[in-house]
Structure 1
Amino acid sequence: MSTDTLPVADTRQVVRAAGRLIAADKGAVAVTVLLNVLAAAAALGAPYLLGRIIDAVTGPRVAGAPIDALAAAVLLCALAHMMLARWALLLGYRFGERTAARIRTGFLSRAMNLPASTVERVRPGDLAARGTTDVDAVAGTLRDVLPGVFVAGTQVLFLVGAVLVLDPLLGVAGLLGLSGIVLVGRWYLRRARSAYLEEGAANSDLAEELAATTAGARTIEAFRLYRSRLTVGRAAIARTKRSRLATLRLRSVYFPVAEGSYNIPVVLVLLIGGLLYLDGRITLGTVVAAILYLRQLIGPMDTILIWLEQLQSSSASFARVEGLAAVPPAPATAAAAPASDRIEVTGVRYAYPGGPDVLHDVHLTVQPGERLAIVGLSGAGKSTLGRLLAGVHRPHTGTVTVGGVAVADLPPDLLRRQVVLVTQEHHVFRETLRDNLMVAAPDDRMREALRTVGADWASDLDTDLGEHPPTGAQAQQLALARVLLADPHTVILDEATALLDPRAARAAERALAAVLHNRTVIAIAHRLQTAHDADRIAVMDAGRIIELGTHDDLITRHGPYAALWRQWHG
Structure 2
Amino acid sequence: MPRRPTGWTLALGIALPVEAGTTLALPAVLAGAVDAVLGHRSGPDALLLLAGVLGAAAAANATAAAAGPACSAEATAALRGRLLRHLLALGPGGRLHGGPPPGDLSARLLGSAGDAGGRLPAALGAATALLTSVGAIVGLAVLSPWLALAFFAGVVPGVLLIRLFLCQAGPVFARYQEVQADIAGRLSGALAGLRSIHAARAEQREAARVLAPLPELSAAGHALWAAQRRTAWQATLLIALIEVAVLTTAGALLADGALAPGALAAAAGWAALGAGLFEQVEALVGVAHARAGQARVDELLALAPAPSGTATLPAGRPGEVSLRGVVVRDGDRVLLGPLDLTVPGGQTVALVGRSGSGKSLLAALPGRLRDPDEGTVLIDGVPVSSLSADELRQAVGYAFARPALVGRTVRDALAGAGPAEAAAARADDFLRRLPLGWDTPLDDLRLSGGELQRLGLARLLARPTRVVILDDATSGLDLATEHQVTQALDHATHGRTRLVIAHRATIAARADLVAWLDAGRLRALAPHTSLLPHPDYRAALSDTALQAATA
TM bucket, shorter chain: 0.7 to 0.9
Indicate whether 1:79 and 2:55 are aligned: yes
What is residue 337 of structure 1 aligned with on the other side?
Answer: 312
CA deviation map 1:202-239 (0-9, x unaligned): 11100010111111112223345446534422322233
- Bigger Cα displacement from structure 2, 144-153 vs 190-199: 144-153
- Bigger Cα displacement from structure 2, 366-375 vs 533-542: 533-542
Contact conserved, 2:322 with 2:342, CA < 8 A, in 1?
A: yes
Indicate whether 1:538 and 2:538 are aligned: no
What amino acid maps onto 1:102 in structure 2?
A
Indicate whether 1:413 and 2:393 are aligned: no
> What runs of 5+ residues in structure 2 fail to find an aligned partner?
none
CA deviation map 1:276-320 (0-9, x unaligned): 222232223212211022234577765x43122022112111111
What is residue 183 of structure 2 aligned with on the other side?
Answer: 206
1:62-141 paired onto structure 2 within 5 Å: 66=42, 68-87=44-63, 95-116=71-92, 117-122=94-99, 123-141=101-119
2: distance between equivalents of 1:481 and 1:169?
Answer: 84
What is residue 513 of structure 1 aligned with on the other side?
Answer: 490
What amino acid maps onto 1:269 in structure 2?
V
Tell me how far 1:422 sits from its aligned partner. 3.3
What is residue 303 of structure 2 aligned with on the other side?
Answer: 327
What is residue 10 of structure 1 aligned with on the other side?
Answer: none
2: distance between equivalents of 1:288 and 1:380?
Answer: 82
1: distance between equivalents of 2:494 and 2:47?
Answer: 91
What amino acid maps onto 2:50 in structure 1?
V
What amino acid maps onto 2:312 in structure 1?
A
Indicate whether 1:305 and 2:285 are aligned: no
What is residue 502 of structure 1 aligned with on the other side?
Answer: 479
Percent identity of paired positions between Structure 1 and Structure 2:
27
- Bigger Cα displacement from structure 2, 516-525 vs 237-246: 237-246
Cα 1:90/1:362, change in 2 over 3 Å: same
Q: Give the TM-score normalised by the residue count of structure 2.
A: 0.87
What amino acid maps onto 2:176 in structure 1?
E
- Bigger Cα displacement from structure 2, 172-181 vs 374-383: 172-181
Contact conserved, 2:34 with 2:262, CA < 8 A, in 1?
A: yes
What is residue 206 of structure 2 aligned with on the other side?
Answer: 229
Tell me how far 1:186 sits from its aligned partner. 0.5
What amino acid maps onto 2:79 in structure 1?
I
2: distance between equivalents of 1:157 and 1:225?
Answer: 61
Cα 1:125/1:336, change in 2 over 3 Å: same
Cα 1:222/1:140, change in 2 over 3 Å: same
CA deviation map 1:54-77 (0-9, x unaligned): 44555xx67xx6464322221111
- Bigger Cα displacement from structure 2, 531-540 vs 477-486: 477-486
Cα 1:501/1:371, change in 2 over 3 Å: same
> What runs of 5+ residues in structure 1 fail to find an aligned partner?
1-16
Among candidates 15, 31, 40, match of residue 20 of structure 2: 40
Indicate whether 1:449 and 2:425 are aligned: no
Contact conserved, 1:347 with 1:397, CA < 8 A, in 2?
A: yes
1:139-538 paired onto structure 2 within 5 Å: 139-142=117-120, 145=122, 148-149=125-126, 151-226=128-203, 228-296=205-273, 302=279, 304-332=280-308, 334-339=309-314, 340=317, 341-355=319-333, 357-428=334-405, 431-437=408-414, 439=415, 441=416, 445-455=417-427, 456-459=429-432, 460-538=437-515
> Helix, strand or coil: the match of 1:118?
coil
> Helix, strand or coil: the match of 1:345?
strand
> Helix, strand or coil: the match of 1:373?
strand
1: distance between equivalents of 2:542 and 2:181?
Answer: 48
1: distance between equivalents of 2:541 and 2:60?
Answer: 82
> Helix, strand or coil: the match of 1:389?
coil
2: distance between equivalents of 1:138 and 1:381?
Answer: 40
Tell me how far 1:566 sits from its aligned partner. 9.3
1: distance between equivalents of 2:191 and 2:250?
Answer: 67
> Helix, strand or coil: the match of 2:46?
helix
> Helix, strand or coil: the match of 1:392?
coil
What is residue 50 of structure 1 aligned with on the other side?
Answer: 30
Contact conserved, 2:27 with 2:266, CA < 8 A, in 1?
A: yes
Q: How many residues align?
A: 536
2: distance between equivalents of 1:215 and 1:28?
Answer: 40
> Helix, strand or coil: the match of 2:476?
coil
Tell me how far 1:175 sits from its aligned partner. 3.4
> Helix, strand or coil: the match of 1:136?
helix
Cα 1:389/1:160, change in 2 over 3 Å: same
Tell me how far 1:559 sits from its aligned partner. 6.6
Contact conserved, 2:150 with 2:242, CA < 8 A, in 1?
A: yes
1: distance between equivalents of 2:357 and 2:292?
Answer: 43
2: distance between equivalents of 1:76 and 1:563?
Answer: 89
Q: Give the TM-score normalised by the residue count of structure 1.
A: 0.84
> Helix, strand or coil: the match of 1:108?
helix
2: distance between equivalents of 1:102 and 1:55?
Answer: 52
Tell me how far 1:27 sits from its aligned partner. 9.3
CA deviation map 1:91-132 (0-9, x unaligned): 666654543343122112111112412345431111111111
Contact conserved, 2:239 with 2:275, CA < 8 A, in 1?
A: yes
What amino acid maps onto 1:453 in structure 2?
A
CA deviation map 1:239-268 (0-9, x unaligned): 322222222222222222223332222101
Contact conserved, 1:89 with 1:147, CA < 8 A, in 2?
A: no
Contact conserved, 2:351 with 2:515, CA < 8 A, in 1?
A: yes
Cα 1:447/1:313, change in 2 over 3 Å: farther
CA deviation map 1:408-449 (0-9, x unaligned): 443433322222343334334583222333x3x3xxx43433
What amino acid maps onto 1:338 in structure 2?
L
What amino acid maps onto 1:461 in structure 2?
W
Aligned CA-pair RMSD: 3.0
- Bigger Cα displacement from structure 2, 424-433 vs 265-274: 424-433
Tell me how far 1:149 sits from its aligned partner. 4.3
> Helix, strand or coil: the match of 1:349?
strand
2: distance between equivalents of 1:291 and 1:564?
Answer: 85
2: distance between equivalents of 1:563 and 1:27?
Answer: 67
Cα 1:502/1:35, change in 2 over 3 Å: same
> Helix, strand or coil: the match of 1:365?
strand
Cα 1:321/1:487, change in 2 over 3 Å: farther
- Bigger Cα displacement from structure 2, 519-528 vs 97-106: 97-106
CA deviation map 1:377-407 (0-9, x unaligned): 2232222222233323333444321122222
> Helix, strand or coil: the match of 2:418?
helix
Among candidates 543, 546, 549, match of residue 569 of structure 1: 546
